[in-house]
Amino acid sequence: MTIEFTLNGRRVTAQADADASLYQVLRALHIASVKCGCETANCGLCTVHMDGRAVLSCSVPAARVQEHDIVTLEGLQEEAKALGGCLADEGAEQCGFCVPGLMMNVLALARENPDATDAEIDAYLAGNLCRCSGYMGQRRGIRRYLDSLKGVRA
């Protein structure tokens, strides 16, 4: 089937099988930031924004994105650069494999609750698994990023 949707601000047309996921469509469109980790909706690696909400692209049927707005990390480079800097400054990552999915969820959090407490950060990001950071550096980096946004908003 043919699906049409907006991807990172550009109108795109894609071919997909009836049982294809959004993740498969995005990879076919050479969106490299979206990766498939668990395929059981647990790891958060394939997170994208669909109409502004963070969703797991491995679980969204491709047909369901018809006429919807999809944003991946490729479409949020400015925010990603700022957030990535904060994570790097706090030594928050080792292998970095989970970072694109983490960033997409942090950017959704920043929009939804820019004044998030540490406990709210932990709760919001519970669906983003990382096997090497231990999470503490990530939380410090995210705290630093949210605080930097307050400076911009003030």
Partner 1 sequence: MATYQNYVMAQSLEEAYALNQKKSSVIVAGNMWLRMCGLRRQTAIDLSGLGLDRVEETEDAFVIGAMTPLRALETHDALNRETGGAFAAALAPIVGTQLRNTATLGGSVYSRFGFSDVSTLLLALDAAVVLHHRGEVPLAVYQQEPWDRDILTHVRIPKGVRAGIVSVRQSKTDIPTLVCAAAMEPGGVRLVMGARPARAMIAAEGVDPDAPTAVFEEITQRVPLGGNLRASEAYRRKVAPVLLQRAARACVEGNHDD
What DSSP character marks residue 19? Answer: T
Q: Please report the beta strands in 8-114, taking only residues with DSSP state E, as ranges in sequence order.
A: 10-15, 47-50, 53-56, 69-71
Candidate residues 31, 34, 60, 107; the one interacting with partner 1 per rule CB under 8 A? 60
Tell me if 15 contacts partner 1 by CB under 8 A.
no
Candidate residues 4, 28, 64, 134; the one interacting with partner 1 per rule CB under 8 A? 64
- Binding segment toward partner 1, per CB under 8 A, in 6-14, 77-85, 125-133, 145-153: 125-133
Q: Using CB under 8 A as the criterion, what x/- string covers residues 90-119 for binding partner 1?
A: ---------------x--xx---------x
Burial class (CB in 10 A: 0-12, 13-18, 19+), 111: middle
Tell me if 124 contacts partner 1 by CB under 8 A.
yes
Sign of CA dihedral 87, 75, 59, 15: negative
Instruction: Please give the Cα distance from 82 to 16 (Å, whole number).
Output: 34
For 151, residues 6+ apart whose C-beta sits below 8 A from its C-beta are none
Instruction: Please give the Cα distance from 92 to 111 (Å, whole number).
Output: 22
Candidate residues 8, 128, 133, 138; the one interacting with partner 1 per rule CB under 8 A? 128
Tell me if 18 contacts partner 1 by CB under 8 A.
yes
Smallest distance, Å, CB 75 to partner 1? 17
Give the footprint of partner 1 on this chain (CB under 8 A): 1, 18-19, 21, 39-42, 44, 47, 53-56, 59-61, 63-64, 66, 105, 108-109, 119, 123-128
